[in-house]
Amino acid sequence: QWLGDGAFYTPPAIFAQLYVIHGLKDGKTLPLVYLLAPNKSKAMYIQFLKRLRDSVPNSKPDQMMIDFFH
């Protein structure tokens, strides 16, 4: 299972968001990937997740939980 969460107030001003993917291992949540997002567009998130999938081909989480602000 992966968990995704974004923080809007912590990245340097040139980035729109710090986004973190966490994974669960032995009952513990561990940060796996950090993204300094240039914007918050749907296209950017799709590109990020595709690159993540292609970079880690053996990782096949059965669930991904995210929070969504609109």
Domain limits of the chain? 2-64
pLDDT given at position 43: 95
pTM: 0.71
Residue 53: pLDDT band (50, 70, 90) is confident
Bridge partners of 21, per DSSP, are 4, 33
pLDDT given at position 64: 77
Give dist(CA 51, CA 55) in Å, integer. Answer: 6
Q: Is 16 helix (H, G, I), strand (E, B) or coil?
A: coil
